[in-house]
């Protein structure tokens, strides 16, 4: 059987064994509803409280500022819609960027239909965004700036801490939200000036279906999910106790020996980039200052879907970009991120995203480079022949 090499960790990560171990008691013995006042419920409530304290400590915030959600998408929606509806009498202008995750872009487009004005900021050729670009877009009507911390396709890092500081210095009333889904475990976010921060567990070895939203004290949101009033009334619904426990344990692991793990990931990335330099017509899209877990690269002349199939035949799993965008094959479009960076269609159509995790090894990197060297000449030859036929 071919050994599997999983390099699509920006889409989702495998659950860490330590996380599964931490969750099992809350799937079997301690299955109570945390809102119940009997012993079973109190056991569950205690686990939720302790997990909240752990996550707050690791993110440098107060435990009362952690709201549990079901996903990063839900967290983004609660943050953006919640601020828009709570502050619409103060202004109706929102600032975001053209390279955000669909959870942000589609929410902003919905709000435009409700009468809000949204500015979609351009990014530089390497996919980065400067604080000056954000500051120039501010108006007296601006109520929210919502920007990702790390781009899911290229790994580009937005200087969200500096953006937040400068925006607050200009206008303290503007709320800063950051989608931190791809940042947790890869960076150590400083949330001093950030009002809202989205987290998704399955991006750092927790299960799918659990996330968190940091809501700093003094920030008022109008809830978009109402009911029993759980999570400070901002996200009603019985808490996913086992998932919450898993989220806290996964975040502990993510920041355990953080510097050593980051150094190892940097070595993996450097080895991969060095190997790509030896492959003809390989164009790296990720900026030099990107997270160590993500490399977006275009293999000119080799359609990405064909190359992905060739890699999968050798047990190597990568992706053409965002998993959320790739899933809808019936209306698949070119990556909006790469288009915003100004890449020509021929490069966009040959781009593959490789994303690493704590379980990726040097052997995985070397095997992937070897597979690319084997597959690319044949794929490019076939593609050239097809283009010649259609002329």
**Which sequence positions are flagged as catalytic?**
324
Picking from 195, 189, 157, 205, the residue whose alpha carbon sits closest to that of residue 12 is: 205
- Contacts with 124 (C-beta within 8 Å, 6 or more apart), sequence order: 130, 341
Q: Kindly write down the DSSP assignment for every residue of 232-256, as one continuous string.
A: GGTS-S---HHHHHHHHHHHHHHTT
Residue 199 CB neighbours (<10 A): 29
Distance of CA 55 to the CA centre of its chain: 17
Side-chain half-sphere exposure of 33, counting CA atoms within 13 A = 7
The tokens for 77 are 């929606």
Taking the C-alpha atoms of 190, 191, 196 and 199 in order, what is their torsion angle to the nearest 10 degrees?
40
Q: Could you tell me the sign of the dihedral formed by the alpha carbons of 316, 321, 323, 326, in that order?
A: negative
DSSP H helical segments within the chain, as ranges? 17-23, 25-28, 39-59, 72-87, 102-113, 131-137, 160-170, 241-254, 258-276, 304-313, 323-326, 336-340, 345-348, 362-390
Query: To the nearest 5 percent, what fractions of the chain are helix, strand and coil?
Result: 45, 15, 40
CA distance 118 to 324: 22
Burial class (CB in 10 A: 0-12, 13-18, 19+), 173: exposed
């Amino acid at each position: 059987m071919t050994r599997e090499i999983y390099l699509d960790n920006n889409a989702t990560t495998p659950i860490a064994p330590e996380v599964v171990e931490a969750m099992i008691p809350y799937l079997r013995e301690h299955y109570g509803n945390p809102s119940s006042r009997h012993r079973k419920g109190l056991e569950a409530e205690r686990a939720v409280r302790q997990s909240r304290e752990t996550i707050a400590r690791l993110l440098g915030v107060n435990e009362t500022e952690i709201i549990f959600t079901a996903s990063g998408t839900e967290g983004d929606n609660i943050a953006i819609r919640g601020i828009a509806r709570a502050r619409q009498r103060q202004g109706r202008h929102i600032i975001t960027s053209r390279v955000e995750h669909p959870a942000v872009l589609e929410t902003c487009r919905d709000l435009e239909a409700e009468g809000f004005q949204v500015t979609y900021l351009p990014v530089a050729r390497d996919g980065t965004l400067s604080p000056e670009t954000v500051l120039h877009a501010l108006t007296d009507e601006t109520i929210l700036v919502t920007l990702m911390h790390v781009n899911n396709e290229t790994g580009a890092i937005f200087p969200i801490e500096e953006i937040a500081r400068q925006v607050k210095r200009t206008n303290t009333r503007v709320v800063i939200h950051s989608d931190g889904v791809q940042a947790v475990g890869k960076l150590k976010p400083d949330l001093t000036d950030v009002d809202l921060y989205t987290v998704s567990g399955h991006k750092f070895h927790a299960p799918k279906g659990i996330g968190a939203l940091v809501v700093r004290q003094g920030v008022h949101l109008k809830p978009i999910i109402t009911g029993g009033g759980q999570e400070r009334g901002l996200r009603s619904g019985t808490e996913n106790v086992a998932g919450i426990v898993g989220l806290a344990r996964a975040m502990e692991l993510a920041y355990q020996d953080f510097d050593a793990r980051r150094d190892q990931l940097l070595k993996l990335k450097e080895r991969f980039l060095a190997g790509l330099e030896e492959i003809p017509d390989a164009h790296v899209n990720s900026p030099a200052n990107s997270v160590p877990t993500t490399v977006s690269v275009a293999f000119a002349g080799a359609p990405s879907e064909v190359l992905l199939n060739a890699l999968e035949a050798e047990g190597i799993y990568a992706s053409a970009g965002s998993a959320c965008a790739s899933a809808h094959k019936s209306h698949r479009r070119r990556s909006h991120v790469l288009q915003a960076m100004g890449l020509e269609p021929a490069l966009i159509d040959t781009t593959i995203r490789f994303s690493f995790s704590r379980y990726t090894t040097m052997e995985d990197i070397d095997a992937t480079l070897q597979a690319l060297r084997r597959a690319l000449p044949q794929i490019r030859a076939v593609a050239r022949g097809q283009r010649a036929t259609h002329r």
